[in-house]
């Protein structure tokens, strides 16, 4: 039975391709020709498998006279056909779009995220989804307007998804907070982020200094000397109150700047920082100039600025929700967000307060 059906399916798929090719070659067609094509195409779409239909139907998405019933049938057929309809159909019920954004399969939501006419509610629903491919497609859709809620949702997810973080940085949207995307930033972008944080820190007036406790520093140095990245991540995660995976990402930063900022934020002595960097990955430890540069970053970065950036990168679990509320409040007070961010809370043990005059 299978051998009898396969040739028939091949013939039907070839016929569908042929009539579609003929249709799209003509920019305008008489009404009668459009109706004839519509009847033939709908009949063949019903009997040809979805994958074959999708492989030949894409040109219809860019033809101005493609009947709306074709898109409706593609949506009904599901699979790759529905993805085409969701991305390109000029007219789809808003309820269907919102339902797909909220509860649709990931592949369908990803196709929907690429549409050029998404409204705010659909964008927000897509931004709340957890699938990386959906979030990346939405972030890469330059036509999609990201409001404050969508930006926060995407930025929070980007802490753990460097591809998404890089896409958000490439949007060049001044309303997107770049500090949380620091690990995906280029050297030039990182310089801008650090300088901006320093400028805000220095304009904020007097701030207490904090020095890391000796026990913590020794443990961190010991883990670095053993090249025990897991132990280092555990120590940083506890100090920063963040996920261990995010602490590990800071340690694994190939440029070393994220770790330098973390050490500055925690108040680690520059001499200890030097020893830690000398035990880092060979790309850092074998580059004397690079080690000097990183230690200089530890020494010269105001602690408040380092804390601000590191808190954004790490996204402390207990502080995420409150940080989002502070960011939203700052956006309103500033008349527009851009690169502003509320100062993070003071980091907990293992640091102790040290008056600036000491």
For residue 316, the model assigns a pLDDT of 64
Claim to verify: residue 296 and residue 237 sit in the same structural domain: yes
- Looking at the structure, do residues 68 and 115 belong to the same domain, yes or no? no
Q: Are residues 275 and 353 in the same domain?
A: yes
The better pLDDT of the pair 356, 243 is held by: 243
Number of domains composing the chain: 3
Crossing angle of helices 94-103 and 120-127, rounded to 10°: 10
- Are 299 and 239 contained in the same domain? yes
Question: What local confidence, expressed as pLDDT, does residue 94 receive?
Answer: 86
Residue range 7-51, pLDDT digits in tens: 777 888 999 999 999 999 998 999 999 999 999 999 999 999 999
Q: Are 42 and 69 in contact (CB under 8 A)?
A: yes
| Cα(117)–Cα(137) distance, integer angstroms | 14
Q: Is the pLDDT of residue 318 over 50?
A: no
| Average pLDDT score over residue span 338-347 | 36
pLDDT at 93: 83
Q: Please give the structure tokens belonging to residue 301.
A: 């970065």
Give tens-digit pLDDT for 46-68: 999 999 999 999 999 999 899 99
Structure tokens at 108: 């369908």
Residue 181 sits in the same domain as residue 286: yes
Last residue of a domain, one of 37, 55, 88: 88
Which DSSP string corresponds to 1-26?
Answer: -HHHHHHHHHHHHHHHHHHHHHHHT-
Same structural domain, 231 and 219: yes
Judge if 305 and 212 occupy the same domain: yes
Confidence (pTM): 0.80
Please tell me the distance from the alpha carbon of residue 5 to that of residue 89, in angstroms, as a whole number.
31
Same domain, 74 and 194: no
Helices (H) and strands (E) in the chain, counts: 21, 2
Indicate the residue among 88, 107, 130 that finishes a domain.
Answer: 88
pLDDT digits (tens, 9 = 90+) for 153-181: 999 999 999 999 999 999 988 899 899 99
Output the average pLDDT for the chain. Answer: 86
DSSP-based three-state secondary structure for 33? helix
pLDDT of 190-219, one tens digit each? 999 999 999 999 887 766 788 999 999 999
Mean pLDDT on 339-349: 37
Percent of the chain at pLDDT > 70 equals 85
If asked whether residues 196 and 318 sit together in one domain, one would say yes
The confidence score (pLDDT) of residue 330 equals 43
Please identify, among 176, 207, 227, the residue that sits at the C-terminal boundary of a domain.
176
Burial 239-260 (b: 16+ CB within 10 A, else e): bbbbbeebbbbbbebebbbbbb
d(C-alpha 72, C-alpha 285), whole Å: 60
77 and 204 both lie in a single domain: no
Which residues make Cβ contacts (< 8 Å) with residue 250, sequence separation at least 6?
183, 236, 258, 259, 262, 310, 313, 314
Give the pLDDT confidence score for residue 172 in this predicted structure: 84
Question: Could you tell me the residue range of the domain that residue 198 belongs to?
Answer: 177-358
pLDDT at 206: 66
Shared domain check, 124 and 41: no
Same domain? For 222 and 281 the reply is yes
- DSSP conformation letters of 51-106: HHHHHHHGGGGG-TT--HHHHHHHHHH-HHHHHHHHHH-S---HHHHHHHHHHS-H
Structure tokens at 319: 């502080």
Chain segment 255-309, per-residue pLDDT in tens: 999 999 999 999 999 999 999 999 988 889 999 999 999 999 999 999 999 999 9
């Amino acid at each position: 039975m299978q051998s009898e059906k396969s040739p028939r399916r091949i013939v039907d798929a070839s016929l569908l391709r042929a009539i579609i090719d003929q249709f799209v070659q003509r920019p305008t067609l008489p009404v009668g020709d459009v109706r004839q094509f519509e009847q033939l195409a709908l009949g063949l779409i019903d009997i040809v498998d979805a994958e074959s239909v999708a492989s030949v139907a894409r040109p219809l998405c860019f033809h101005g006279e493609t009947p709306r019933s074709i898109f409706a049938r593609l949506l009904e057929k599901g699979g790759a056909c529905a993805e085409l309809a969701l991305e390109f159909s000029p007219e789809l019920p808003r309820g269907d779009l919102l339902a797909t954004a909220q509860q649709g399969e990931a592949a369908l939501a990803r196709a929907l995220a690429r549409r050029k006419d998404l409204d705010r509610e659909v964008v927000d629903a897509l931004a709340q989804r957890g699938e990386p491919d959906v979030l990346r497609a939405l972030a890469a859709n330059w036509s999609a307007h990201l409001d404050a809620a969508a930006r926060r949702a995407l930025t929070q997810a980007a802490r753990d998804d460097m591809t998404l973080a890089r896409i958000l940085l490439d949007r060049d949207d001044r309303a997107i907070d770049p500090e949380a995307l620091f690990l995906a930033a280029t050297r030039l972008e990182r310089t801008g982020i650090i300088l901006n944080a320093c400028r805000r820190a220095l304009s904020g007036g007097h701030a207490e200094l904090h020095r890391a406790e000796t026990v913590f520093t020794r443990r961190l140095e010991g883990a670095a000397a053993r090249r025990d990245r897991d132990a280092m991540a555990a120590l940083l995660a506890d100090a920063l109150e963040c996920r261990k995976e995010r602490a590990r990402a800071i340690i694994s930063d190939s440029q070393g700047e994220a770790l330098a900022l973390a050490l500055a934020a925690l108040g680690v002595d520059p001499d200890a920082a030097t020893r830690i960097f000398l035990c880092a990955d060979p790309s850092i430890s074998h580059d004397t100039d690079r080690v000097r540069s990183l230690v200089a970053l530890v020494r010269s970065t105001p602690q408040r600025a380092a804390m601000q950036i590191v808190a954004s990168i790490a996204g402390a679990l207990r502080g995420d929700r409150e940080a989002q509320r502070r960011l939203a409040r700052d956006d309103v007070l500033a008349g527009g967000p851009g690169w502003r961010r509320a100062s993070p809370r003071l980091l907990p043990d293992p640091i102790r307060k040290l008056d600036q005059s000491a």
